[in-house]
Structure 1
Amino acid sequence: MKIGIMGTGHIGKTLVLKLSAAGHDVKVANSRGPDTIERNILAHGAQAVTAAEVVTGVDVVILSTPLGAIPKIAQLFADVPADTIVIDTSNYYPKRDGEIAEIEAGMTESEWVAAQLDRPIAKAWNAITSASFAEKGVPAGTAGRIAIPVAADGERERDMAMKLVDETGLDAVHSGSLSESWRQQPGSPSYCTDLTRKEMPDALAATERSRLPVRRDLAIAAIAERMGDSTTNPDSDYAVRLTRVLFM
């Protein structure tokens, strides 16, 4: 399968490595150009390309950028065929992305992304820490395998996202439509808590929407206090302990 990945942050790097290792024909781009992409993430045959090239001639595009960058990326999709599946991994953090009025008024993050792109999307890989994603993927059927939620309105988007999630070493649990995807936004019990497939449905059902922003911001403050100005993400053990205390 031909896959284009936009973004080379912590999640994007792991997506490139895992999906190319799984045998897919992967292209990757960032906002700074192909010459700035670290060579180590191309170890399994992925190709570094421009942002315009990454969305052309592919079956799937995965967006792994800050949510605030989506409007700038949207113009790249003007000529992308309607049958190209788009999967978004982003999360809304107002201090980083700036306040977005529609989301603050109640639109889910994934609905907002779909509106910016003017096309259907699936939401996946947003609810796992980058460290857990990089380190804890295991083959299907392994006891204790981490599960992550996948939201989509269409069956094609849902099924493709769930297939690719499985190929990256995680169980996929369909969380519902994009309008229900607030259940996997930052601050929710399913967000970065490393739950199993058996545990995930109860976590999704227990989500209290009104409490998500407060919990999200508490976690960010705690991580900032611990990490200081470092751009390094916290290790998975600390991050999961923190999110389980704050979100569950």
Structure 2
Amino acid sequence: MKIGILGSGLMGAKLGRLWATCGHDVTFSYSRSPAKLERLARDCGGAHGSVAEAVTDADALLLAVHWSRIDDVLEQAGDLAGAVVLNCCVPLDESNTDIVVGMTTSGAEELARMRPKARWVASFNTSPSESFAGVFARKAEEPRPHLLIYGNDAGAKKIAGELILDIGFEPLEAGGLHTARFVEPFAMVTAELAYGQPGGPALTYRFDKLRA
């Protein structure tokens, strides 16, 4: 699968490297440091380039930028018509302490309004990037930790689900894109548990239904 990474911070860099390890064709883009993009590509045998180059002919895109950079990266990405876009962004203020969109809408829904021709699906925003390497190393073990996935496009969710499985999580269906109104605040809970409580940031979770 050809994957374009829009944003090469912690989330984009780590997921891009792991997907490259799985054999996907990964292109890194959108960083203040061109040298960082070059290093990421070199280290995992991928490519690097502009946002437009990462978008071109991609089977899937990962949108992984701070909310303050959304307008800029979308302008460079174009209309994204037909593109499958995995959104892991939480709409946070500059201090990363408060959500700036909700509760009658969400960051995910606002993105869908900005680029209505894209095939949006949200995932990866409820598990800290520090968990990815450990989950990947244990992906042969069962049960796998869950990862919430939500969106309105069944085909896009199928593609995202395959990429989630590649990392080592089990995708957990959480409904349509409107679910983001509740998931984005939940992402702040997982951040508190990961970074504000003892035990380290490599947090995972799993939901199970009790059966009689």
Give unmatched runs, 5+ long, in structure 1.
193-215, 227-233, 244-248
Name the residue aligned to 1:168: 167
Separation in 2, partners of 1:51, 1:154: 23
Separation in 2, partners of 1:88, 1:144: 25
Q: AA paired with 1:239?
A: P
Aligned pairs, how many? 203
- Structure 1's 42 and 122: CA in aligned 2 closer, same or farther, altered over 3 A? farther
1:61-96 per-residue CA deviation (whole Å, 9 max, x = no partner) reads 11111122111122233354x332111111122243
Separation in 2, partners of 1:79, 1:178: 19
Name the residue aligned to 1:8: 8
**Identity of counterpart residues, as a percentage?**
22
Separation in 1, partners of 2:96, 2:51: 20
Alpha-carbon offset, residue 154 of structure 1 = 0.8
Name the residue aligned to 2:114: 116
Name the residue aligned to 2:134: 135
Give the TM-score, by structure 1 length.
0.70
- Structure 1's 180 and 79: CA in aligned 2 closer, same or farther, altered over 3 A? closer
1:67 corresponds to 2:67: yes
After superposing on structure 2, the runs of 4+ consecutive aligned residues of structure 1 that deviate more than 4 Å are 97-101, 138-141
- CA contact 2:149–2:173 (8 Å) conserved in 1: yes
Give unmatched runs, 5+ long, in structure 2.
206-212
- Structure 1's 53 and 183: CA in aligned 2 closer, same or farther, altered over 3 A? same
Give the TM-score, by structure 2 length.
0.81
Separation in 2, partners of 1:111, 1:79: 16
Q: AA paired with 1:7?
A: G
Please give the secondary structure, in 2, of the residue aligned with 1:18. Answer: helix
- Structure 1's 170 and 162: CA in aligned 2 closer, same or farther, altered over 3 A? same
Please give the secondary structure, in 2, of the residue aligned with 1:96. Answer: coil
- CA contact 2:144–2:170 (8 Å) conserved in 1: yes
Separation in 1, partners of 2:167, 2:110: 26
Please give the secondary structure, in 2, of the residue aligned with 1:83. Answer: coil
- Structure 1's 47 and 188: CA in aligned 2 closer, same or farther, altered over 3 A? closer
The equivalent position to 2:104 in structure 1, one of 103, 106, 112, is: 106
Provide the aligned C-alpha RMSD in A: 3.1
Alpha-carbon offset, residue 133 of structure 1 = 1.6
Larger CA deviation: 117-126 vs 139-148? 139-148
Q: Which has the higher contact order (CA 8 A, sep 6+)?
A: 2
- CA contact 2:67–2:93 (8 Å) conserved in 1: no
